[in-house]
Chains A and B, each alone.
Chain A
């Protein structure tokens, strides 16, 4: 149990993929234009990471060392494609919103990094938790960053929630300013770098205390 606690602490704080390992920046920067986008892609990534870690770990002894990376990529790519098919088939609006980003999970190095550095050396259960918590740690950063950019860029939070929960959820969207013209920089890519830098600074500040 204490093992799992340690893994969770690593994923959410000490080794957080978003603000400490700084792996997986491609989706971090591209998708986090709104809180919901960040959260959705974060959760999709967490699922892929948990499943890929859990599937590599039990067969790790059968994978020859020389070809481990191609085999890992093969497994990850297949899992992502399966998730892509499923979202396209059953949650069309979410597919429309995340569209091109789901296949990008394959190229997200954090997935391969956790398989290589954790699942290839550990038992199945801890590997599963490592993938899950690392993924949720990333999802947390993506959500925060998305929220930050959406708040400053559009003056709202949770916009687009109706794409996931159905049209009735659209009254959950929070509007903070009556007549807000938007702050475009926050929505454009530079806003992602600036926002991420602020989050990293914040984490370092909390740790320095």
Chain B
């Protein structure tokens, strides 16, 4: 009786082990087949974003590889070290791309890439990830609206601190009524990113 029971348990366990092994093998095979295409397509997606922030004809280095790591700063909102991409022409840093995190979106963080040139002007801003309301707060995405291009060529010199706000708050930036929290967060984080770049200019722009 006990022996029968034991036999049944062992066959069941053996079956489970065999199925698990077969599944793991299939997964490992597929992991190895798809690994390099996945890395390539991730890098491609990132390059497309980076190219939108800084036009590709301005620099001649490999942007994705040419990075420096910066420590957490309240101006950037990062909690870990992050990479700053540096665009170089003839070995001179002509612009940097900094990742800025706005902690105060309507629902959670908004991550953006901000491209800044040597003259502290914004070359471009793009939203990488956000959780804003679809159809309402998502006009910060380039796929949905041109709003994000408002930042192009703005700088701390040309736009005073007060003007870094939506028009409703007396600032320079358009917004869609009913969704003002989202642009406020992005404007604030972009402004702070410019401050950061100015404060750390030597380090960021020296090759």
Contacts and interface: CB of A to CB of B under 8 A. Distances in A.
Interface of A: 33, 62-64, 66-67, 70-71, 74-75, 77-78, 81-82, 85-86, 88-90, 92, 95-96, 153-154, 182, 184, 187-188
Interface in B11-51: 11-12, 15-16, 19-20, 23, 26-27, 30-31, 33-34, 37-38, 41-42, 44-45
Interface of B: 11-12, 15-16, 19-20, 23, 26-27, 30-31, 33-34, 37-38, 41-42, 44-45, 133-136
Main secondary structure of the interface of B (DSSP, over half): helix
Contacts, number: 64
B15 A67 contact: yes
Contacts of B135: 33, 153-154, 182, 184, 187
A188 B137 CA distance: 12
Contacts of A188: 133
A70 B19 CA distance: 10
Nearest to B39: A89
Contact of A92 (B19, B44, B134): B44
Contacts of A78: 23, 26-27
A72 B193 CA distance: 50
Contacts of B133: 184, 187-188
B20 A74 contact: yes
Given A75-B23, A82-B30, A89 B45 contact: no
A81 B44 CA distance: 22
B41 A88 contact: yes
